[in-house]
Amino acid sequence: MKNLISHLLISLLAIAGISCTSDDDNPAAGAARVNFYLVDAPANFDEVWVEVLAVRIKMDDDVSDEDESGWLEINYDNSQALNLLELTGGNSELLGTEDLPAGEIDQLRLILGEDNYVIQNGERFELKTPSAQQSGLKIKINEYIEGGMSYDLVIDFDVARSIVTAGNSGNIILKPVLRAYMEKAAAGISGQVLPLDAQPVQVTISNGENQYNTYVDENGNYVINGMDDGTYSVTFSPNDQYLPTVIEGVQVTNGEIVTLDPVTLSSK
């Protein structure tokens, strides 16, 4: 709580000196309006709850990460536990809106509380968070914003890769794998996997350097946005009654969503 109060005080000072959010649909003069959204790639859990306290950004890459005066906090009025698995299939959580000076957004920091847990088969398991993450989860952005424009900055929380079991202790640890992208330039891959009896089906998209993960929804649909340009392989990993399938040579181009033909998996 003391850390949160400190962050809020810094936020008030930063907002007074750097930005002024207007109440209408247009950004303040000379500024760019940025909406910060949280989404999630589905995972094989019943529920995944995290407590989001705040979002902070750093505009100047010449300012040290440890210099708190260089970070601006985006007010998130509804600080509470969120079920990440509800933020799929086009659903998202608005974490805040801010008018920012034109320039490059260097980094983003997502600050979590301690009320984090998963539900699996009706049982609750607490998520341990490494102490190194208490200052916030840092994400490199490097996105330029222009004055007079509005942007949607999406934070993608990859649950499937973010929750790990620690050796023999049985502790379930939250080690978030996050990425962020501007939605207007969000290239990606979408499609459908059948039959529905093959679920849960994990979708892994990789080009050897970058890897993206998700699960299909209840209708077999999937989509991954915010991908880098490149040629990718797409792997579909179903339950143990069906055979996995790989599609090679999928070309992703900036700003376009590639929709693959429906994939029908074969039973064993």
DSSP of 63-118, one letter per residue? S-TT-GGGEEEEP-TT-EEEEGGGS-TT--EEEEEEEEESEEEEEEEEEE-S--EE
| 65 conformational bin, left if phi > 0, alpha if psi -120 to 50, beta if neither | alpha
Supply the CATH classification number for the domain 186-268: 2.60.40.1120
pTM (predicted TM-score): 0.67
Residues 13/72, Cβ–Cβ less than 8 Å = no
Q: What is the pLDDT of residue 135?
A: 65
Give the three-class secondary structure for 56. strand
Q: What is the pLDDT of residue 234?
A: 96
DSSP of 146-194, one letter per residue? -TT-EEEEEEEEEHHHHEEEEGGGTEEEE---EEEEEGGG-EEEEEEEE
Domain boundaries, the chain: 1-184, 186-268
Could you report the per-residue pLDDT of 78-131, keeping only the tens digit for each? 667 899 888 876 678 888 888 888 888 999 998 888 889 999 888 898 888 776
Q: What is the pLDDT of residue 143?
A: 84
Count the helices and strands in the chain (H runs, E runs).
Answer: 2, 21
Residues 99/33, Cβ–Cβ less than 8 Å = yes
Q: What is the pLDDT of residue 194?
A: 96
With a cut of 50, list the residues of the chain below it in pLDDT. Answer: 1-23
CB atoms within 10 A of CB 90: 8
Q: What is the pLDDT of residue 182?
A: 80
